Amino acid sequence: MRSIYDFTVNRMDGKSESLETYRGKVLLIVNTASKCGFTPQFEGLQALYDKYGPYGLVILGFPCNQFAGQEPLNKNEIIEFCQKNYGVTFPMFSKIDVNGDKTHPLYRYLKMRAKGALKTEFIKWNFTKFLVDRNGRVMKRFAPATSPEDLCPNIEKLL
């Protein structure tokens, strides 16, 4: 794959969607979980989406159950949980793996282009964030502990 726009992902309703849909947008791609210490970041992510969405930011949430089983919910439960507890309106996708043999191809791509601490590709935990510019370039990776609010300067530079 040469571009982020070459990838297809599955929406929660099971329909495939090409990331080409988001060409020209700034993307914040996040692996999420409903039972994690970082789960309250959904509130901050939604606030970013509300604030910057009109200017071209789209947040893409990818539930992942690879970290201590912190995403045990099924797709309907995930959507209900996110909407009821955090008012999430940004796109959420089907559960994926972000590490190991079954890593989703999108995450293989993201990890190669934005390494983590000590230049590793491995995703350390839920709520690792990747910021992608309007041209589809992976610009930066943020650790799970980085709050959504701390991303504002980086997002504003790309908008």
Distance CA 60, CA 82 (A): 13
Q: Which residues are catalytic?
A: 36
Q: State the pLDDT at residue 118.
A: 66
CA nearest neighbour of 90 among 82, 100, 101? 82
Q: State the pLDDT at residue 98.
A: 97
pTM over 0.85: yes
If one counts the domains in the chain, the total is 1
Contact 18, 7 (CB under 8 A): yes
- Which residues span the domain enclosing 120? 4-158
- The CATH number of the domain holding residue 66 is 3.40.30.10
pLDDT in tens, the chain (159 residues): 578 999 999 999 889 999 999 999 999 999 999 999 999 999 999 999 999 999 999 999 999 999 999 999 999 999 999 999 999 999 999 999 999 999 999 999 999 988 766 677 889 999 999 999 999 999 999 999 999 999 999 999 999
75-86 and 41-52 helices, crossing angle to 10°: 70
CB atoms within 10 A of CB 89: 13
Q: State the pLDDT at residue 2.
A: 78
Q: State the pLDDT at residue 94.
A: 96
Backbone angles phi, psi at 98, to 5 degrees: -110, -10
Q: Which two tokens stand for residue 127?
A: 């709520």
CA nearest neighbour of 6 among 21, 26, 25? 21
Q: State the pLDDT at residue 117.
A: 67
